[in-house]
Amino acid sequence: MEKKKYIRFDWAMKRMLRDKSNYAILEGLLTTLFKEKITINRLLESESNQEDELDKYNRVDILAENSRGELFIIEVQNNDEYAYFQRMLFGVSKLVTEYINRGEGYQNIKKIYSVNIVYFDLGQGKDYLYHGKTEFLGVNTGEVLNLSPFQRQKFNVDAVSELYPEYYILKANDFNEKPSNLLEEWMYYLSTGDIPQDSTAPGLSEAREKLKLAMMSKGELSAYYRHLDNTVILRDNIYTSRGEGLLEGREMGRKEGMLEGMLKGMEKGLSEGLEKGREEGLAEGMEKGREEGLAKGREEGLVKGREEGLAEGMRNAKAQIVKKLISSGANIDLIIDVTGLTEVEIRSLL
């Protein structure tokens, strides 16, 4: 297997891409994702980062401002975090309040994009790219609530959703295809850590030049490989726990399903036995009635036939249920609970 030549993006995000000389790599990712030229003016520091450098839970990896004053939160997450959707909301909400001065009008709230690169199974879905935005829909009409002409001119946007934060989720682990467009070239790098020579997506040529493993010192390489080892261990633990939970759940479901099947089988067997007993009893009673030729005989025959047929049908149905339970490995106590028969009655049916 060919040895990787390039530094993984998750490591570069935390250690290298804050350097202004490497802005072109981030700009290339954003330009490819948003399909328009994105220029980073500066990287900012969120107050949540400044409060506690050790608080990695709320720490924003990179906070960038573009030439239009819009903010971009870019985060990479390796840990399997079930509340990551809420974490995205928290990060954006905090920025909304951080970057507006007291006394300023609401029209000065900055547009925020939250770009999340995750290396775990976040939610349920088959795509590798998800986009979330805010729209207001009429409850009765289904129409989208739009801005007035004055608002469009004042805020210089065309839709209400453009005023609200937008979220992008790139699921790196879910991409395992040969790249067929510029974004998929980026996804290939995010997923594998490799940059094919024929990649043309913005930012990847700079990444190929500046994120070479060969450029790292011995100490940096040692820390980098420890990071990779920890990432592999983390994912192995996640998959192991998921696999153990699946097996345990499957076994529990099998046992519950078997018991439910027995009960339903008993109900169906009793119902079929009763129906069959009625039919046989009716036939037998009618036959006796014909033979005797008397109304009384016919009536007695029908009654007796029904009773005997019902009894025989019930006995046959219960005998079948008992045999099925025994063949399934059920013990005598379970059979008594399921059928309501005594041990003596059960043995008499065998």
Q: What angle do CA 308, 309, 314 make, to 5 degrees?
A: 100
> Residue 142 gets which letter from DSSP?
-
Q: For the chain, how long is the longest CA-to-CA vector?
A: 111
pLDDT, tens digit only, all 350 positions of the chain? 445 688 888 888 877 888 888 999 999 999 999 999 998 888 876 544 444 433 443 344 788 888 888 899 898 887 777 899 999 999 999 989 888 877 788 888 999 999 999 988 888 899 999 999 999 999 999 999 999 999 999 999 999 999 999 999 999 988 888 899 999 999 999 998 899 999 999 999 999 998 888 777 777 777 777 767 766 544 555 455 455 555 666 667 666 766 776 777 777 777 787 788 788 877 876 777 667 665 665 566 566 766 776 767 777 777 788 788 788 777 888 878 877 778 887 777 77
Q: Dihedrals φ, ψ of 89, to 5°?
A: -65, -45
Which of 95, 102, 89 has its CA nearest to residue 64? 95
Strands laid side by side in the 71-77 sheet: 40-44, 62-66, 71-77, 112-118, 166-171, 129-132
What residue spans define the domains of the chain? 9-215, 257-349
